[in-house]
């Protein structure tokens, strides 16, 4: 039986190697890479605010106990310990002056302590956590923002295989650090390291898809599926993290993600052969030239401001829920579940539909819906009131991402050289700016003027930006590319791009798919 199993395993590996050029297999690898990246991105959302608050509270209690053990009678120290649990600090000076032995709590007191464990006692300290948590969340996107301009041109020189595998290695190291870090400094370092790995995975992955799916409609469908991996990571991450943290502990969810990373790395080794350097056949448009293109900037702006809404909610919504709803740990992550589900639905629906209805219109409607949805979030009185606005936020962001990601590749085909590493570096920079500025600025705004005003501001910004998407309705192309596409004397079948569809001229001759299907 052992030999038979080995033969089956060998056959599987052989099949994977033979299907190395399959576009579907490459799409699956990118799907898993984005799934892992975004699960690690969001699994910390419900864990970190509560974990850091508990660390600070534990440190305060230790300092107070040390101080009271030196100043007060011995009995006061025991009284504090009997009233303290791992979640909150319930001790006060009224208990520290009693020299008598502590009285066992009555059933009424025990029930009160259990109910109050969901409500933080120090609201001022909880508000201060906004900035601390926001800076930690923003560190990943900030590092990714700095790394992206180097990864994009690098993929043009050495290909996509090696960078995406390097992204897996760095992501695995970051996941292990998250599992065993017990201080703010180490958590900050792990989050920052994740930014480097995420930059490699997302830029190389999107560029690889754009290079093998050359048809505009097929590319939109493929990128929509790949974004489904992102959506699934966002969907599973928060509830998975909160439930595991509440019932198992902090380490368990990260160890599970580490096993997922190993699976993706093994698949990349077999299929992509990342030891080979495969540069692009032609030199791509310089990154600076692409960044000066106003149409690329509009598409990047839509990605940035659309995702900034959810990025601002990630560090501030759990703290606001703890403050106003006395939410339990598992509820802090489950609150994001409607947004995650609707994002998954939105990316799968509009990956294909946006091409038919016009990607510019899809993005415009999405930006408006994002704006109104986030404005409605603070009106919720309990976790059930968050379902509808969060669903709207996720669905609308799915509309924006599934429209603007393909249009980035389309703009390069139409106006520049069809090499995609740099343009998807810009797309990822825009995504990262939303997740870098969102938590850092959002945490400060929430601390100073409150969470409701924070949601109102970002909602208005999204609504005001939406009309700019009209400029993407019919972007002009390079004259020489238009001349080639419109040349009726050309015997080869050519592809003419437009914002509404793809049109073909000439005979049915399209050899570029022969190596993949």
- Spatial neighbors of 433 by CB under 8 A, at least 6 apart, are 141, 145, 304, 308
Cβ burial of 123 (10 Å; 0-12, 13-18, 19+) is: exposed
- Calculate mean pLDDT across residues 294-306: 91
Q: Check whether 248 has a pLDDT greater than 50.
A: yes
Contact 461, 307 (CB under 8 A): no
Residue 286, helix vs strand vs coil: coil
User: For residues 414-429, b (16+ Cβ closer than 10 Å) or e, as one string?
Assistant: bbbbbbbbbbbbbbbb
CA distance 29 to 396: 26
Range scoring the smallest mean pLDDT among 139-143, 308-312, 489-493: 489-493
Where do the DSSP E strands lie in 107-260?
A: none
Cβ burial of 196 (10 Å; 0-12, 13-18, 19+) is: buried
Q: What is the pLDDT of residues 205-222, one digit of tens each?
A: 888 888 888 787 788 888
10 Å Cβ neighbour count for 22?
Answer: 16
DSSP state for residue 153 in the 8-state scheme = H
DSSP state for residue 497 in the 8-state scheme = E
- Calculate mean pLDDT across residues 51-78: 61
Q: What is the pLDDT of residues 382-423, one digit of tens each?
A: 888 888 999 999 899 989 988 888 888 888 888 888 777 788
> What proportion of the chain, given as a percentage, has pLDDT over 90?
12
DSSP state for residue 83 in the 8-state scheme = T
Q: Which residue has the higher pLDDT, 300 or 135?
A: 300
Q: Check whether 483 has a pLDDT greater than 60.
A: no
CA distance 232 to 8: 31
Number of residues assigned to the chain: 517
Describe the crossing of helices 216-247 and 184-212 by its angle, rounded to 10 degrees. Answer: 160
Q: Quote the mean pLDDT of the chain.
A: 74
The CATH class, in words, for 22-53+123-275+284-472 is mainly alpha
CA distance 345 to 399: 9
User: What pLDDT does 299 receive?
Assistant: 92
Sign for the pseudo-dihedral over CA of 271, 154, 204, 252: positive
CA distance 192 to 513: 39
Cα distances (angstroms) measured from residue 249 to each of 12, 151, 242, 254: 36, 35, 9, 10
Alpha helices in 335-469 (DSSP H): 337-357, 359-376, 387-415, 421-449, 451-465
Confidence of residue 93 (pLDDT cuts 50, 70, 90): very low
Q: Is 358 left (phi over 0), alpha (psi -120 to 50) or beta?
A: left
Maximum CA extent, the chain: 102
Confidence of residue 10 (pLDDT cuts 50, 70, 90): low
Contact 32, 285 (CB under 8 A): no
Range scoring the smallest mean pLDDT among 83-87, 219-223, 315-319: 83-87
Range scoring the smallest mean pLDDT among 338-347, 394-403, 482-491, 494-503: 494-503
CA distance 472 to 210: 19
Confidence of residue 457 (pLDDT cuts 50, 70, 90): very high
10 Å Cβ neighbour count for 256?
Answer: 17
- Calculate mean pLDDT across residues 343-354: 83
- Calculate mean pLDDT across residues 485-497: 42
Q: Check whether 432 has a pLDDT greater than 50.
A: yes
Range scoring the smallest mean pLDDT among 3-17, 26-40, 374-388: 3-17
Contact 423, 411 (CB under 8 A): yes
Contact 88, 58 (CB under 8 A): no
State the Cα angle at 168 between 343 and 247, rounded to 5°: 60
CA distance 70 to 328: 35
Confidence of residue 480 (pLDDT cuts 50, 70, 90): low
Describe the crossing of helices 251-271 and 161-180 by its angle, rounded to 10 degrees. Answer: 160
């Amino acid at each position: 039986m052992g030999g038979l199993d080995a033969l089956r395993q060998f056959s599987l590996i052989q099949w994977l190697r033979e299907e190395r050029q399959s576009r579907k297999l490459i799409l699956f690898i990118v799907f898993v890479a984005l799934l892992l990246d975004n699960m690690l991105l969001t699994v910390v959302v419900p864990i970190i605010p509560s974990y850091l608050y508990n660390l600070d509270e534990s440190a305060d209690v230790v300092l107070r106990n040390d101080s009271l053990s030196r100043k007060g009678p011995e009995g006061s120290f025991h009284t504090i310990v009997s009233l303290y649990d791992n979640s909150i600090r319930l001790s006060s000076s009224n208990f520290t002056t009693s020299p008598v032995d502590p009285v066992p709590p009555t059933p009424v007191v025990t029930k009160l302590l259990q109910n109050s464990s969901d409500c933080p006692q120090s609201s001022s300290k909880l508000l201060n956590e906004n900035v601390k948590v926001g800076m930690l969340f923003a560190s990943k996107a900030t590092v990714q923002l700095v790394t992206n301009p180097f990864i994009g041109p690098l993929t043009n020189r050495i290909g996509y295989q090696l960078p995406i595998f390097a992204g897996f290695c760095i992501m695995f190291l970051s996941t292990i650090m998250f599992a065993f870090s017990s201080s703010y400094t180490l958590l900050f370092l792990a989050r920052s390291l994740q930014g480097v790995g995420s930059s490699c995975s997302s830029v190389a992955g999107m560029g690889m898809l754009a290079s093998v799916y050359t048809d505009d409609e097929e590319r939109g469908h493929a990128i929509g599926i790949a974004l489904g991996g992102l959506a699934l990571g966002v969907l599973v991450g928060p509830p998975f993290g909160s439930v595991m943290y509440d019932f198992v502990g902090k380490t368990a969810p990260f160890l599970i993600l580490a096993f997922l990373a190993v699976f993706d790395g093994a698949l990349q080794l077999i299929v992509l052969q990342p030891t080979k350097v495969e540069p692009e056949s032609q030199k791509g448009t310089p990154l600076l030239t692409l960044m000066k293109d106003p149409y690329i900037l509009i598409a990047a702006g839509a990605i940035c401001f659309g995702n900034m809404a959810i990025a601002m909610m990630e560090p501030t919504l759990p703290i606001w829920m703890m403050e106003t709803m006395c939410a339990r740990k598992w509820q802090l992550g489950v609150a994001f579940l409607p947004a995650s589900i609707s994002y998954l639905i939105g990316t799968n629906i509009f990956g294909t539909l946006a091409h038919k209805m016009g990607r510019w219109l899809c993005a415009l409607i999405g930006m408006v819906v994002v704006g109104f949805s986030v404005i409605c979030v603070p009106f919720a009185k309990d976790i059930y009131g968050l379902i509808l606005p969060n669903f709207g936020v996720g669905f609308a962001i799915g509309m924006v991402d599934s429209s603007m990601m393909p249009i980035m590749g389309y703009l390069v085909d139409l106006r520049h050289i069809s090499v995609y590493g740099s343009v998807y570096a810009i797309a990822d920079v825009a995504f990262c700016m939303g997740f870098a500025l969102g938590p850092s600025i959002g945490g400060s705004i929430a601390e100073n003027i409150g969470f409701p005003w924070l949601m109102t501001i970002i909602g208005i910004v999204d609504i005001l930006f939406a009309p700019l998407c009209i400029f993407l309705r019919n972007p002009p192309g390079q004259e020489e590319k238009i001349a080639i596409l419109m040349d009726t004397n050309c015997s080869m079948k050519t592809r003419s791009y437009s914002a509404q569809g793809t049109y073909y001229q000439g005979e049915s001759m399209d050899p570029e798919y022969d190596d993949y299907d």
